[in-house]
Structure 1
């Protein structure tokens, strides 16, 4: 008897974030338009089980708001070596986009998802760095939510 794995209702969004991260990484390297990247990914990647609408939204928002997202992240990127790995940059932009533009998603979910992406795609210690940056950004962008959820203030 075969057992079917129960798919989490959150899995389509998780997959959308993973596809968006890959698309954003490519965008950072090639500097194509959001539309071109989205079209290319739709042609080349499987979107089975992916919230494709959320994928498109994330890619379009990060591309459209690149400068504002980088500006929001800048004070929280505390590093002696100011250079960011391209994958870390893409993860941080994606996380910042969700923290700023998607208040319907709890900040803890956004940070957890970014950490999962950093573990999967980032350098060895990327998750620690990503966690610190997004946690500090969430204190600024989600102060009232943090206070309500965990008394953090």
Structure 2
């Protein structure tokens, strides 16, 4: 037996660098807009509301203290976090008919992403519905389960005609260039 320590640690490959990751472990993207970042922080807050049943007045300051929040659109974050919590029942009433299972079986991440999508389609008319849809799909890809983004896409596409009928109809009637 040798008195020297084992070299097994030296044989392991080096850990992958965490450069390029946010404090949550999500990928950083230099091109992320401040609204995209606001959605990400709102998603984290809504998750705390859904899972931890934390009060929005506790979630808000906690989330604002997270690394990177200064790069988010704080006004949009406020609208999403406070609006989704305040309108939770109404948003669930919009979403539930498009579900193929009870809301209790939906992952809290996908649930929160669908809240964000429904809220933005209903209240943020300056954001085109396809942008809302794409942003929510990306949120679900980044933070949700393996195929959660597909489910989110289906549900939000299902409720979009109810919330953005004029915009969707105008898009359908647009002649190809």
SS in 2 for 1:44: coil
From 105, 127, 137, the counterpart of 1:115: 137
From 19, 33, 50, the counterpart of 2:55: 33
Per-residue deviation at 1:91? 0.6
Distance 1:133 1:116 in 2: 14
Please say which of residues 43-52 and 67-76 is displaced more in the overlay. Answer: 43-52
Distance 2:150 2:50 in 1: 22
Q: Report how many aligned residue pairs link the two structures.
A: 145
The answer to whether residue 170 in structure 2 is matched with residue 135 in structure 1 is no
Contact 2:136 2:152 in 1 (8 A): yes
Per-residue deviation at 1:81? 8.9
Distance 2:49 2:116 in 1: 13
- The TM-score, its normalising length taken from structure 1, stands at 0.87
Distance 1:120 1:47 in 2: 18
- The TM-score, its normalising length taken from structure 2, stands at 0.76
- Paired position in structure 1 for 2:79: 57
CA deviation map 1:27-52 (0-9, x unaligned)? 11122222210111112333132111
Larger Rg: 2
The answer to whether residue 18 in structure 2 is matched with residue 18 in structure 1 is no
Q: Do the aligned partners of residues 117 and 108 (structure 1) sit closer, same or farther apart at CA in structure 2, a change above 3 Å counting? A: same
- In structure 1, runs of 5+ residues without a counterpart are 1-6
Displacement over 4 Å in runs of 4+ = none
Contact 2:96 2:103 in 1 (8 A): no
Per-residue deviation at 1:80? 8.1
Distance 1:64 1:46 in 2: 25
Distance 1:26 1:33 in 2: 9
- Paired position in structure 2 for 1:146: 168
